[in-house]
Amino acid sequence: MKNLVVTALAVCSLASSVLAGPFSKKSELGGFDGFVERMGAGVRELGRGNTGSADTASMPAAYWNPALLGFRENLGVTINFEKRDLDRLGGSLGVEGKVGKRMGVGLAVLYRGDTDFMVIDDDDETLGSAEPFFTMFYLGFAYRATRRDAFGLSFSMSYDNLDIAQYYDGIEMEDSFRSPVTINLSWFRQWNNKWSSSVVIRNLSFSRNLSARWTKNPSKDNSLASTEGVRPKVLQIGLGYRSQIMGKPVYAWMEALDYQVADTLLAFDPQLHVWTGRVGFECEIIPNATLRLGMDDLDWMLGAGYKFDIRVGRKKFPIEVNYAFLYESRAGIWTPFTLGLRGYIP
């Protein structure tokens, strides 16, 4: 109990310090592309503050931390869906499993979209509505170097469609765009039965300065100004702690993230970085039932999950259903409908 309290205080202190970072630069983290980071990829992880990089059970691991794939023993499948305010939908699909004795591989697909996005012209006249969407694909690999250590690599690529070409008369519009392939590197270590840690470096590229940057030209005849797509380099450090209170399993998770908003290999100027943090707690209140609480930046989350088995013949298939409730404090937006389903095939 004493160790858990000390850990919780340390996690909250660090999270508070990183949350005090320069919020004015959050717009530089990417617009349509950026809300992949903000929405996350798993309901189980969302319910505890969007923390998932330091937990071997996080899915889809190709997104959270590809090194986690090195600890897979069975074929796992996860499906997540969330309905947010402002007519925004999100979801993810992940499939992953073991390859040989020391390796793992996983695939993840993330989807974000708007169902009623108002299109307004230069005269502030509403032309109609659009349904833009954004999809991101992850292919991850891991190698388990020791019983406690694993290293991971994932490749990611995005595809987005603005769905506004119909409102531009006389201009041959290009609605869809595809990003170049980006690279994510990671490491995970399970120090003992209580502590785990992770390091993930996201959004590297094969281009100059390893920056994930590309040009989007919305018109085929160059009559409209081009825009630039960019994903900042991200350093993500995670920490996990496991204990018990009154015989109940209790977990604490923390992540610190550094976004480098500069097209350079490394930037040492603090004005070119945005820092943020995530913190989460969960407790298995009764066997197979878990309650969660977390905070991502200044957004608060509550979550719950329940595990059970489905028997098909002589085989048992473990299933986990998860729910998360989100409050985005700065926007004053509540998200009550977020559901996730996870399963394993022995």
Task: Work out the pLDDT band at 34, boundaries 50, 70, 90.
Answer: low
CA gap 278, 151 in Å, rounded: 23
More confident residue, 131 or 123: 131
Question: Is 330 strand, coil or helix?
Answer: coil
Confidence of residue 11 (pLDDT cuts 50, 70, 90): very low
> Cα–Cα distance between 99 and 79 in angstroms, integer?
22
Position 227 pLDDT exceeds 80: no
Find out whether 274 and 261 touch, Cβ atoms under 8 Å.
yes
* Torsions phi, psi for 59 (to 5 deg): -145, 145
- Find residue 75's DSSP bridge partners: 345
Residue 114's pLDDT band, with cuts at 50, 70 and 90, is confident
pLDDT tens track for 304-323: 999 999 988 888 899 999 99
Residue 236 and residue 154 in contact, taking contact as beta carbons nearer than 8 Å: no
Torsions phi, psi for 151 (to 5 deg) = -120, 145
As a whole number, mean pLDDT of residues 87-106 equals 93
One-character DSSP codes across 229-286: EEE-EEEEEEEEEEEEETTEEEEEEEEEEEEE-SSSS----GGGEEEEEEEEEEEEEE
Average pLDDT value over all residues in the chain: 85
Quick: pLDDT tens for 278-298. 999 999 999 999 999 999 988
Give the model confidence (pLDDT) of 235-273 as tens digits: 999 999 999 998 899 999 999 999 988 888 888 888 889
pLDDT band at 24 (very low <50, low <70, confident <90, very high): very low
| pLDDT computed for residue 215 by the predictor | 78
pLDDT at 183 over 90: yes
38: Cα separation from own chain's centroid: 7
Provide the domain count of the chain. 1
Distance (Å, rounded) from C-alpha 135 to C-alpha 95?
A: 16
Half-sphere exposure of residue 279, counting CA atoms within 13 Å on the CB side?
A: 17
Amino acid present at 178: R
pLDDT band at 94 (very low <50, low <70, confident <90, very high): very high
In terms of pLDDT, which residue wins out, 134 or 192? 192
Could you please report the per-residue DSSP string of 116-150?
SEEEE-TTS-EEEEE--EEEEEEEEEEE--SSSEE
Write the CATH number for 79.
2.40.160.60
In the chain, the DSSP E strands lie at 75-84, 88-99, 103-114, 117-120, 126-130, 133-143, 149-161, 176-178, 182-190, 195-205, 212-216, 227-231, 233-245, 248-260, 273-286, 289-296, 299-312, 315-328, 333-335, 337-345
d(CA 94, CA 107): 6
Q: Higher confidence at residue 326 or residue 20?
A: 326
Q: Is the pLDDT of residue 224 over 90?
A: no
For residue 313, the number of C-alpha atoms closer than 13 Å in the C-beta half-sphere is 1
What whole-number percentage of the chain has pLDDT above 70? 88
Q: What domain range is 60 assigned to?
A: 2-345
Average pLDDT, stretch 317-330? 93
pLDDT in the model for residue 3: 44
| Range 79-93 average pLDDT | 87
Three-state SS at 37? helix
Could you read off the pLDDT of 54-83 as tens digits, one per residue?
Answer: 999 999 999 999 999 999 999 999 999 998
**Region of residue 224 (phi > 0: left; psi between -120 and 50: alpha; otherwise: beta):** beta
Confidence of residue 40 (pLDDT cuts 50, 70, 90): low
Residue 2 has pLDDT above 50, yes or no: no
pLDDT range class, residue 97, cuts 50, 70, 90 = very high
> How far is it, in rounded angstroms, from Cα 190 to Cα 43?
23
Tokens coding 181: 């392939």
Q: In this structure, how many other beta carbons lie within 10 angstroms of the beta carbon of residue 52?
A: 29
Number of residues assigned to the chain = 346
**pLDDT at 105 exceeding the cut of 80:** yes
